[in-house]
């Protein structure tokens, strides 16, 4: 799934941004595109919508995002509720998607809770920016 461009830079085929705030989704998408971090950005405005999408890709693993940027604070189903439901998805989904938690929250409880979740690889402060993407690229 992972590939490289001509400069040897790591490029993801698909990443997903789950955020209820249109401005935050836009900033994340534009950062990802501007810095050639991924070939395709899948935007979801709710955790429920994202779960439905992931479930629909069970028989088409090429449609799964390799990386998910997940907002913590969303109405109805927040990022932690999403993670709970995500844990019920088949291993095929869980093994193909890396989750990065995104938030403006400075609440240390949120940070610890995210970092303690087995599905969350990293906690990132919004807005998503070039230095964060470069850091993720190095860690991959």
Q: What is the CATH number of the domain that holds 134?
A: 3.40.50.2300
Rounded Cα–Cα distance for residues 135 and 126 (Å): 15
Domain that includes residue 109, residue range: 3-139
Average pLDDT, the chain: 90
**Mean pLDDT, range 32-46, rounded to an integer:** 95
Q: Do strands 98-103 and 3-4 pair parallel, antiparallel, or not at all (unpaired)? A: unpaired
- Of 40, 35, 31, nearest to 12 (Cα)? 40
Q: What is the pLDDT of residues 3-15, one digit of tens each?
A: 444 344 668 999 9
* pLDDT over 90 (residue 108): no
Whether the predicted pLDDT of 23 surpasses 90: yes
Residues facing residue 4 across a β-bridge: 10
pLDDT, average across residues 88-105: 93
Number of domains forming the structure of the chain:
1
Percentage of the chain exceeding pLDDT 70: 91
d(CA 68, CA 18): 7
**Alpha-carbon span 113 to 48, nearest angstrom:** 20
> Structure pTM?
0.91
Helices (H), 40-124: 47-56, 79-86, 91-96, 108-115
């Amino acid at each position: 799934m992972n590939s490289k461009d001509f400069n040897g830079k790591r490029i993801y085929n698909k990443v997903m941004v789950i955020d209820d705030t249109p401005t935050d989704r836009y900033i994340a998408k534009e950062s990802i595109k501007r810095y050639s971090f991924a070939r395709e950005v899948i935007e979801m405005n709710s955790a429920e919508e994202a779960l439905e999408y992931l479930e629909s890709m069970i028989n088409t693993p090429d449609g799964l995002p390799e990386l998910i940027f997940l907002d913590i604070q969303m109405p109805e189903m927040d990022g932690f509720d999403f993670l709970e439901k995500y844990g019920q998805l088949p291993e095929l989904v869980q093994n193909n998607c890396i989750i990065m938690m995104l938030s403006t929250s400075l609440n240390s409880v949120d940070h610890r809770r995210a970092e303690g979740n087995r599905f969350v690889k990293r906690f990132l402060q919004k807005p998503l920016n070039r230095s964060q993407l470069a850091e993720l690229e190095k860690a991959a």
